[in-house]
A and B are shown apart, each in its own frame.
Chain A
Amino acid sequence: MNTTVVITGLGFVTSIGHSRSAVSEALRSLTHGLAPWSAVAGADLTTKLAGVLRGFEVGSANPAAWSWPREFALDVSVARVMPPHGVYALAALQQALGEAQLPPGALGDGATGLYCASAGSPRTLHQHLSKLEASGWRRGHPHAVISSIAGALNFHLGALLGIRGASCGFVSACSSGSHALGFGMDEIRLGRQERMIVVAAEDLNAESALPFSGMGALSRASDPVLGSRPFDRGRDGFVPTGGAVAMVIESEASAVARGVRALAEMAGWGQASDGYHVAIPHPDGRGLSDAMRLALRDAAVPPKKIGYVNAHATSTPAGDRAEARALVEIFGPQGVPVSSTKALTGHGLSLAGLMEAAFCVLALDESFMPGQAHLSEPDEDSARLNLPRKTQFVQPGVVLNNSTGFGGSNVSHVFSATNHR
């Protein structure tokens, strides 16, 4: 377990940009990617905002009508058999493999694995089941299963990339992307793989987002600044988003041998569960504080060495409150600088953990700490946190990333700057 794991490639299709430079600029300037959104044309819905994926038109039931920004040279014959989030993933992969200098033909060496996170595509499943039902349950589309269920992402990408090493999908709701990255790190530390490609992606459409409205989890705001405001007393739920993030992690020895620059080191991770409720976090965030302790122990880093925390806080009262209490338990009141970048992006569900891990890598590689956007008045628990409103242009050194998901599943990662050991 002494293998040092480094990050060598990142790719983004997010509401705040579809490139490393665009995402970095948005995080520095605290420019959000939220916009008015109508999940169902013409319907008067209470969900009025989303973190939209500009330039990607993947809403049609006929994938042949889909389009994407010109800079992504995606193969139509591949994209048309994937769910909408598969198209985002292809674009993110293109960037990450490019930055890591891994030509697609080099991935079938058996030393490269693929871990993915996605909830599948409820929309694609809905379309196929509707058609199957209309036929009297006699005639289903041959791609109905492989293009829609949770796992569709790793099925397609594994075959497309020619992966001969490990491949698997992770499903732990909003912790999924973080689980994929954590277990990917372990594959390398255990000596099973030299490198792992980790991809997390989610659709953004009525079927992926609106079911959360039934739980009262979605914001009803129409003003982006008021819609996603983690830790704020006036928050009323999360703003949905989709997209994809791809990350290449590998042993330091592999990166050195290939002559590829390490963007940051992945120092450790931990997971723990609330053991409390299927959807509501433990009021004191006990599983999350345990996950943070385990991640710090794994990284052999004391809490005082952490320079920045990217919080999971989605802008729901129960979740933000639990995380604030857990953070105070680990770091003390007014301790480490904390922000939730979901104020800018919206909440990407299975995508969120990996997206925010990638933001942490950017922060370490470029020496900044994103501030807490859209925060006007913290509630009594959040007021005990150190929540800088503006981005600070300093090297955080070592950072921690939090994720929590349904069932009280909690994951924390620790990353460090490459020159900060």
Chain B
Amino acid sequence: MNTSPVQLPPPTHPTSPLTGQPILADAPARKSPEQIAEELLGFSPSCVDAAIRFYASGDFADFCVMLPGMIAFHLPRGAAASSTTLTDDLRLKEDIGLDSLALTEMAFKLDDLFGISIETRDVFGLETLGDLKAFLKQRCDSR
């Protein structure tokens, strides 16, 4: 019986199957207001302004100003109009028109822009806009 200890390879970063290179999780660089505006091309000006303010301040009040424009951009074609005032009691799918794909796309955008880590499955259980806001506040606070 061979009793010699098993030789483990030195720890490495995971490597990419595409490039063979290590995948390095570098800290993301700070974005300029111009970069944020470019990433939000096609969004309403008020949404872009609020996003830039939120990126700098982290103030959730700015986030809430940004949110209606974020929702409007991601609404599927033919969904309920977003021009009506969005109140916290509105249901995301039935009243606002955000289907699950739109909701996950919006979550992806928030992660991309602000580094707000959101598990896709977590947003599926949210029913109202108030639920979404509470969930996003919790995720923002835990960044």
Contact = CB atoms under 8 A, between A and B. Distances in A.
Answer whether A and B are interacting partners. Answer: yes
Interface of A: 62, 64-65, 75-78, 80, 129, 133-134, 136-137, 139, 141-143, 160
B58 interface: no
B25 to A, nearest CB: 6
A142 B108 contact: yes
23 contacts: A62-B39, A64-B41, A64-B42, A65-B41, A75-B77, A77-B77, A78-B77, A80-B42, A129-B18, A133-B16, A136-B14, A136-B23, A136-B25, A137-B23, A139-B108, A139-B111, A141-B108, A142-B104, A142-B105, A142-B108, A142-B120, A143-B101, A160-B77
Contacts, number: 35
Interface of B: 14, 16, 18-19, 23, 25, 38-39, 41-42, 75-77, 101, 104-105, 108, 111, 120
B104 A62 contact: no
Nearest to A160: B77
Question: What 8 A-B pairs are tightest by C-beta distance, nearest first?
Answer: A64-B42, A64-B41, A142-B104, A142-B105, A77-B77, A136-B23, A78-B77, A133-B16
A143 B105 contact: yes
B61 to A, nearest CB: 26
B42 A76 contact: yes
A129 B18 CA distance: 9
Contacts of B42: 64, 76, 80
Contacts of A160: 77
Contacts of B38: 62
Contacts of A62: 38-39, 41
Contacts of B39: 62
A133 B105 contact: no
Contacts of A76: 42
Given A64-B42, A142-B120, A143-B105, 14 more contacts: A62-B39, A62-B41, A77-B75, A80-B42, A133-B16, A133-B18, A133-B19, A136-B23, A136-B25, A137-B23, A141-B105, A142-B101, A142-B108, A160-B77
Nearest to A65: B41
B52 to A, nearest CB: 17
Nearest to B117: A139
A87 to B, nearest CB: 14
